[in-house]
Amino acid sequence: MIFTMLGVRRMFEEHIIRRIRWYIRRLYSWFLNLLMQSYWDEIEDCKVKVFDKLSEKAEKVLEIGIGSGPNIRYYAASNANLTLYGLDPNPKMKKYARKSASKAGFKHKSFRFKQGVGEAIPLKDNSVDAVVATLVLCSVSDVTQTLKEIKRVLRPGGVFIFLEHVAAKDGSMFRRLQKLLDPLQQRLADGCHLTRNTRECILKAGFSGGVEIETYSMCSFPWITRPHIYGLAYN
């Protein structure tokens, strides 16, 4: 009898703890979304600029780190004959990316999800007209190898379009803060690094057709990811 009562009490306590955790998680994600909304709005403006640079002539495009497909809607206007390859290491993204693709009006065969990493792209040499990466080179484990792979799959004259947050100016207070918070950021944001010199990596990658890079400093939270770079690199 006593054992039964103890068991019921424990079950009740566990239920309450689960409920409290559930409310804390809801509150946390609501608060984070609230804080992040202006960042998403600002990043959207940058993405529009980046996708404007995608030529109507690009018929085969690869997006690296496509995630759940937040960018897919930007392709819809670029070309009706477009085949989009979406690459992501996380297989769970396939369902969401596919949903975003069909919402954006892609036919089933025009959107192909590929599970894999930027460091070993599962496509043939010179097989795509454009490669897109937004907020991804901060998360790959090897930026140089990823850029090498991007160059390999791009046809001659093809374009790499990017938007990334990068390390603040060397020696600045902000850079020191980024260095301090980098390990925490990697843990909380799925391997995202705050201190990457992605601009230099892109400049050194050997895009022989030239590179155009612009810098943008976001006003919105989280300020720690400032500045961002965006632009084009031609193969």
Ligand X SMILES: C[S@@+](CC[C@H](N)C(=O)[O-])C[C@H]1O[C@@H](n2cnc3c(N)ncnc32)[C@H](O)[C@@H]1O
Contacts with ligand X by CB under 6 A lie at 64-65, 67, 70-71, 87-90, 93, 117-119, 134-136, 139-141
Using Cβ positions, the residue closest to ligand X within the complex turns out to be 65
Tell me the sheet residues that pair with 68: none
Instruction: Kindly state the DSSP code that residue 168 receives in the 8-state scheme.
Output: P
Q: Least separation, in Å, of the C-beta of 139 and ligand X?
A: 4
Q: Which of 56, 62, 65, 148 is closest to 112 using CA atoms?
A: 62
- Coil vs helix vs strand at 143: helix
Q: Return the DSSP state at 194.
A: S
Q: Using the minimum distance from each CB to ligand X, give the nearer residue, 71 or 83.
A: 71
Smallest separation (angstroms) from ligand X to the CB of 67 = 3
Question: Encoding tokens for residue 86?
Answer: 């979406």
DSSP state of 231: E
Measured from the CB atom, is 139 or 235 closer to ligand X?
Answer: 139
Based on CB atoms, which residue is closest to ligand X, 177 or 189? 189
Residue 103 CB partners (closer than 8 Å, separation 6+):
72, 73
The minimum distance between CB 182 and ligand X, in angstroms, equals 15
Nearer to ligand X, 73 or 209 (CB): 73
Shortest distance in whole angstroms from residue 31 CB to ligand X: 19
Rounded to a whole number of angstroms, the minimum distance from the CB of residue 73 to ligand X is 12
**Distance between CA 231 and CA 68 in Å, rounded?**
23
Nearer to ligand X among residue 135 and residue 166 (C-beta): 135
